[in-house]
């Protein structure tokens, strides 16, 4: 099974009022602050005409059951 590419981590300094606004927006959208910042950046870049590939999302839910005769880990 292939792993999604590792995300780039870096420190980001924000004005506390801006962070609070992002935090409220994230809560309203049921996202983490990190996911909300990423979403807002993608939206802003899209409005500027910057094309990005769709993000690789991790598969959710249970893995499929192994078929009879296959090794189980």
DSSP 35-65: HHHHHHHHHHHHHTT---PPPPPPP-SPPPP
52, part of any domain = no
| Residue labelled with tokens 């990423």 | 38
Q: How many domains does the chain fold into?
A: 1
- Name which of 11, 45, 31 is nearest 23 in CA terms: 31
Whether the pLDDT of residue 61 is over 80: the answer is: yes
Domain enclosing residue 42, as ranges: 16-47
The per-residue pLDDT for 70 is 61
pLDDT in tens, 18-44: 999 999 999 999 999 999 999 999 999
Considering only residues 53 and 2, tell me which one the structure prediction assigns the higher pLDDT: 53
Residue 21 lies in a domain: yes
pLDDT band at 72 (very low <50, low <70, confident <90, very high): low
Does 36 map to a domain?
yes
Mean predicted confidence (pLDDT) in 44-72: 81
């Amino acid at each position: 099974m292939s792993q999604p590419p590792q995300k780039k981590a870096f420190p980001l300094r924000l004005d506390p009022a801006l962070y609070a606004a992002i935090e409220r927006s994230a809560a309203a959208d049921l996202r983490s602050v990190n996911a909300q910042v990423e979403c807002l950046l993608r939206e802003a870049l899209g409005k500027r005409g910057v094309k990005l590939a769709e993000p690789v999302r991790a598969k959710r839910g249970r893995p499929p059951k192994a078929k009879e005769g296959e090794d189980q880990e």
